[in-house]
Amino acid sequence: MAAVQLAGSQHGGPSPDAPQEPGPESGPAFPRLWAKLRALRPDDSSAARTEIHLLLDQLISENYHDGGPVAPEDVSALLVQACRLVRLHQNHLVSKVSQLIHHLLNRLQVIVDEQNLDFLLSYTISAIQQCSPWTHMEILQALAALVYCNGSKCQKYLPDLVGKTGLLMKLSDPAQADPEVRRAAVHCMANLCLSVPGQPCLDEPYQRICFQTFLTTLQSPQWSDMDDIAFCMLLQNALKGIQSLLNGGRKKLTHTEELGALLAVLKKSMFHGLPGLNIEIPTVLYPTLLPQYDGRPPARPQQPQPCTSRPAMNKKKKAKVKPRKVQHGEEEEGEEDSSGEMEASPAPGSADLPRENLLWASPPGLQSLPPDGSGAAGKARSSSLLTCSSWKRASSSESDYSDAEGGMQSKMRSYQAKVRQGALACFLSTIKSIEKKVLYGYWSAFVPDTPELGSPQSVSLMTLTLKDPSPKTRACALQALSAILDGSKQFLSVAEDTSDHRRAFTPFSVTIASSIRELHRCLLLALVAESSSQTLTQVIKCLANLVSNAPYNRLKLSLLTKVWNQIKPYIRHKDVNVRVSSLTLLGAIVSTHAPLPEVQLLLQQPCASGLSGSNPATPHLADWWKKAPSGPSLEETTVSSPKGSAEPCWLIRLCISIVVLPKEDSGSGSEAGSAAGSTYEPSPMRLEALQVLAHLARGYFSVTQAYLMELAELICKCMGEADPSVQLHGAKLLEELGTGLIQQYKADSAIAAAQRVPVVLVVAFWTMMLAGPLPRALQNSEHPTLQASACDALSSILPEAFSILPNDRQVLCITMLLGLNDSKNRLVKAATSRALGVYVLFPCLRQDVIFVADTANAILMSLQDKSLNVRAKAAWSLGNLTDTLIVNMETPDPSFQEEFSGLLLLKMLRSAIEASKDKDKVKSNAVRALGNLLHFLQPSHIEKPRFAEIIEEAIQALISTVLVEAAMKVRWNACYAMGNVFKNPALPLGTALWTSQAYQALTSVVTSCKNFKVRIKSAAALSIPGLRAQYGSIEQYAQIWTALVTALQKSEDTTDFLEFKYCASLRTQVCRALLHLLSLASASDLPCIQDALAHSGNMVRSYILQFLKSGAEGDDTGTAPGPQEGDKMVKRALEHISSIQALAGDTAQSAIASYLKEILTVHADAAGPQMPPCD
């Protein structure tokens, strides 16, 4: 092209001293050759072409790594100069310069800058248009290297490349005669789609064109004249392109047909070349409709299904050092995967399906560990296997292979494995880019189900995990399965197989339960059959994800027992990542749906069960975990192991030993996570052991409490170490233990007093903590996360124990918390605000006016913080503090109310009003505090003029919050707060201007709020005033009565299935409010009541009778009526109505009285002779 040839002016000018002839030259190769190239001028003579040929050959053959780093801008300038020297009619030179572009950019790993990219793209596009077809392969390789990570800078060339008649569209067409050119074009398009963080993606129309091209490529059959390896490389490039589009975040798979077609080709590609498997996959997979209740997504009832686990990592290139560096979408072929596949060979029949009978083998058959094939302990975790595998790059070079490496057969297996890995990586990206409810519609296509008798097992991700010869592919399949399982708890919660279902159809719940059982069976088979440590880690992680999400409380027993018994030997595996993941799995078992009776029994198993017979990596642990619990935990209390068993919990003993005992030099090589010269187990092992102990403390405290003082020593040791991570996990364990002790002493606790940890032992526990490193952790300002965690731990102290602590320890706790409230770190400040909110509820502190005032000032300061989290915690604490004010107000001693500062009350009211205008997280507790404060106000406060305005403002804030369309919790708290306001007899309820506004807000909510719990709370608030005068005028009373009747009438009007369970509670509360209003009615109110009953009397009667019959039917107020309370309320209303002096000529009184008598008579007849008849 003329434009290209015109650009022949030299880049940077010639170097006059540049040598013209190669000779005995020394020095770095790149500057020397670059100087030669700059000295040349465009010339079409034969001698000039020969010289350029020789120089280009020299540039391609040089090893640039020996001469020091080369500046990227110099590489770009050299390539521009080379292109300017070569005219487009010189086919051989164009081919040579294309090879140079491809070679230099890949070898030196250079991304071309935008200015030079513009010239080079123009040159290569023109070259494809003008040069002979035999040069297209090399030019496309050069183009692929240029556009790699540069897609956003190629906007003006996109129409020429991927427009409807673009070059790449033509060359990638299935009708393209040369398969290698087609593969190179698809590779080029895939590199173009690769997005770089922070840079724009391709425009949507071009994304759609590229996606369809990749999809068509994957759907097309292999040509008869295309060799298998070329076809594999074509598939790899198409898969890479789709994954790049999905990872960019802009490609949305919203159409069922598009998603179904993609999933179909991905499933087909997942099994590409897998030995012994020949499957037919439909061109489109369609989702199975799932039950649509409780917001759960749809899934196919008659096949297996997947669950999701955390996708291990994001897409990053593998950072392994190779003899030859590769980049720009170049695929590194052969060696790694070949060796990886050979790694599995020592395990005969590795994961072959006929070995399924190994799965449920008796424990003795499972004691020996499978041979460990590969991993050094320091190897990076395999979480990024899918996204960093070498399939991302493609090259035509086949020089990496030789007969010595296994010949064509080995090479073929390697390429096929890369296709499967690429399909799995692309599938993982697909999982991340679609909603879970959409994904679970395809559950049966990728997750195994128990095959019917005589039927073959359907192919799934577990087929790859059990049968693929490549350990990397097996790990990729496991990672994809984990991604499906992650977050599947709600979907799997429908599973149920606790009873035998003998019916004509299989319920969906049974289908899902069957799938869960099959996943357990296959993963446990994979566990015993796996030979690669890296893949073994993925098996265990996948099991942990399954355990975390499966509803074991709805499944038959034994699933967890099988997992428990089979994972035990791996705790001593020589690879540290396997050991860590084994502990993670045990942690998942003891945290899922805790406490489970099955796990409770497992924890009581003899300590050596399932552990003998293996070669322990840490044999010194064996005696340690067999020891019975020692120290005050057994000597000072009879609370030992559950049910009085003297057998120690082996898991607790194991975790303690991992944390505190020095490791033995077992000669297993370097350990991941262990510092040089460390005497303990690697840090990940110790941290995971501490997490397991925390899970046990949370879910199985009855087992853990026997080790309380021993764990106290362990916590002191951890928090005294230099490693902040160990300190932090120690503090978390302390918090869980403290919370477990508090749960035991709660009023509604089912734990018998004799089975609780004695308070004296709890005091000893906390005395040790406060005398140890806990105060130092609280003062460690260099590690604010540790400080915050220590604050959380300090807030978990048992109130009964705190009151017995020595006075100096109590003062220490309070002083530390009040001091930390001034911290500039928001994490610390939030934790401190919450801790103060806990302490202010302590019985021994809540009547201390000075402490309550100090806490109030600290909380009010935090309410002004810029951090929403700090303000939310402070608002919660303010709500607790005002609860304390109400509790103190109800005590006989009035000294607290008298001594509490009125000025501080004023400040609290102002702060709560401001907080009620904040975000919902703050607002919900701010309105709770407002209600309590208005309830607490004494006549001496209300009489003061400075309080009048603030009271009006506070009530207006509550009214607006009741009416605002906010979160349910906010409106519920606002209605609750309004009820608290009505409880203060000193407020002018009934006469104040705000009375009608308050009642209008509550009646609006009780009849129309979508949330029934809010309706219930508003009805409860309307039934609180104890005097007729407090309901205001006759019209106001009539409005409230009518609204309550309407609320009763509309008590089943909802489109939300979840609200139906609150219908009965709503009717109960509304009936109580109506009867309460009747018991206060005046003669002037009776006509409006009579009118309402004339229109809706039958409906009201039926619901009141239902209320009387249900007796103690619960409501949402927390105060369920007694069995006779309903009768008493009706009788009280009847007595009151009968006692009213009726107005002359008014028949309303007798009509209402007759109505109530009829209700009592009907109820008495229905109840039988045990109920006294109505007078």
Q: In percent, how much of the chain has pLDDT > 90? A: 53
Check whether 369 has a pLDDT greater than 80.
no
Q: Is the pLDDT of residue 410 over 60?
A: yes
What is the pLDDT, as a whole number, of residue 298?
39
Residue 339 has pLDDT above 90, yes or no: no
d(CA 1052, CA 1048): 8
pLDDT value of position 501: 58
Distance CA 34, CA 671 (A): 47
CA dist 282 and 428 (Å) reads: 20
**Structural Rg of the chain based on CA atoms:** 38
As a whole number, mean pLDDT of residues 769-776 equals 92
**What integer is the mean pLDDT of 1032-1043?**
94
Q: Please provide the average confidence, as pLDDT, over all residues in the chain.
A: 81
Confidence band of 888 (pLDDT split at 50, 70, 90): very high
Report the percentage of the chain scoring pLDDT > 70.
Answer: 78
Residues 6+ apart with CB under 8 A from 1032: 990, 991, 995, 996, 999
Q: How confident is the model at residue 500 (pLDDT cuts 50, 70, 90)?
A: low
SS3 string of 918-979? CCHHHHHHHHHHHHHHHHHCCHHHHCCHHHHHHHHHHHHHHHHHHHCCCCHHHHHHHHHHHH
Per-residue pLDDT, averaged over 1039-1067, amounts to: 84
Q: pLDDT at position 1057, please?
A: 65
Region 619-637: mean pLDDT is: 40
pLDDT category at 623 given cuts 50, 70, 90 is very low
State residue 3's pLDDT score: 36
Instruction: Check: CB of residue 34 under 8 Å from CB of residue 74.
Output: yes
746 torsion bin: left (phi>0), alpha (psi -120 to 50), beta (else): beta
Q: How confident is the model at residue 40 (pLDDT cuts 50, 70, 90)?
A: confident
CA distance 680 to 662: 4
Cα separation, 885 vs 869, whole angstroms? 25
Tell me what pLDDT residue 631 has: 40
Model confidence at 14, pLDDT cuts 50, 70, 90, reads very low
Question: Do the beta carbons of residue 108 and residue 70 sit within 8 Å?
Answer: yes
Positive or negative, the Cα torsion across 1076, 1078, 1082, 1086?
positive
pLDDT classification of 291: cutoffs 50, 70, 90: low
**Model pLDDT, residue 300:** 38
Please, which pLDDT band fits residue 214 given cuts at 50, 70 and 90? very high
Q: Is the pLDDT of residue 361 over 60?
A: no
Give residue 248's pLDDT.
Answer: 80
Q: What is the mean pLDDT of the segment spanning 344-366?
A: 35
Give the pLDDT score at 327.
Answer: 44
- Is the pLDDT at 371 greater than 60? The verdict is no
CB 674, CB 740: distance < 8 Å: no
Q: What is the mean pLDDT of residues 770-787?
A: 93
Question: Among 515-519, 625-629, 723-727, which is the least confidently predicted range?
Answer: 625-629
pLDDT above 90 for 1025: yes
Measured in residues, the chain has a length of 1175
Query: For position 408, what pLDDT does the model report?
Result: 85
pLDDT tens for 222-244 read 888 788 899 999 999 999 999 99
Degrees (nearest 5) of the Cα angle 192, 198, 203?
45
Check residue 505 and give its pLDDT.
72
Predicted confidence at residue 295, as pLDDT, reads: 39
pLDDT of residue 1160: 87
Most confident option among 155-169, 333-347, 400-414, 632-646: 155-169
pLDDT score, position 348: 33
Q: Which tops the pLDDT comparison, 1078 or 383?
A: 1078
Give the H or E element holding residue 324: none
Whether pLDDT at 302 is above 60: no
Mean pLDDT score, 582-596: 95
Q: What is the pLDDT of residue 1000?
A: 95
> What is the pLDDT averaged over residues 874-892?
94
Give residue 680's pLDDT band: very low, low, confident or very high (50, 70, 90).
Answer: confident
Task: Give residue 393's identity as a one-letter amino acid code.
Answer: R
Residue 949 has pLDDT above 60, yes or no: yes
685, pLDDT greater than 80: yes
| pLDDT of 925 higher than 90 | yes
CA distance 825 to 816: 15
Which pLDDT score, from 0 to 100, does residue 664 have?
A: 65
- Tens digit of each residue's pLDDT (9 = 90 or more) over 1153-1170: 888 898 888 888 876 655
Using pLDDT thresholds of 50, 70 and 90, give the confidence band for residue 115: confident
pLDDT for position 1145: 64
> Is the alpha carbon torsion for 887, 893, 894, 897 positive or negative?
negative
**Which alpha helices (DSSP H) does 532-596 contain, by range?**
533-549, 559-567, 576-591
pLDDT tens figures, 548-557: 999 999 998 8
pLDDT at 63: 79
Whether 473 shows a pLDDT value over 90: the answer reads yes
Q: Residue 119's pLDDT is what?
A: 92
Question: Is residue 1174's pLDDT more than 90?
Answer: no
Decide: 937 and 986 in contact? Cβ < 8 Å.
yes
Lowest mean pLDDT among 444-453, 993-1002, 1011-1020: 444-453
Q: How far is CA 483 from the centre of its chain?
A: 11
Lowest mean pLDDT of 239-243, 401-405, 432-436, 480-484, name the range.
401-405
922 closest CA partner among 838, 852, 865, 975: 865
Rounded Cα distance between 143 and 929, Å, is: 67
Return the pLDDT at 705: 94
ω into 595 cis (within 30 of 0)? yes
Over range 893-910, report the average pLDDT: 91
Burial 250-261 (b: 16+ CB within 10 A, else e): ebebeeeebbbb
> What is the pLDDT, as a whole number, of residue 406?
57
Structure tokens at 135: 């040069």
Which class for 898: exposed (0-12), middle (13-18), buried (19 or more C-beta within 10 A)?
A: exposed
- Token pair 């265990």 is at which residue? 540
Taking residues 861-879, what's their average pLDDT? 96
Taking the alpha carbons of 335, 337, 338, 342 in that order, is the dihedral positive or negative?
positive
C-alpha atoms less than 13 angstroms from C-alpha of 600 in its C-beta half-sphere: 15
Helix axes 533-549, 508-529, angle to 10 degrees: 160
Provide the 8-state DSSP code for 220: S
Q: Which of 247-251, 606-610, 1033-1037 has the lowest mean pLDDT?
A: 606-610
pLDDT for 1064 equals 85
> Which of the 8 DSSP states describes residue 494?
T
Reported confidence tier of residue 108, pLDDT bands at 50, 70, 90: confident
Span 805-852, pLDDT tens digits: 999 999 999 999 999 999 999 999 999 999 999 999 999 999 999 999
pLDDT score, position 5: 35
Average pLDDT on 989-995 reads 92
Q: What local confidence, expressed as pLDDT, does residue 399 receive?
A: 42
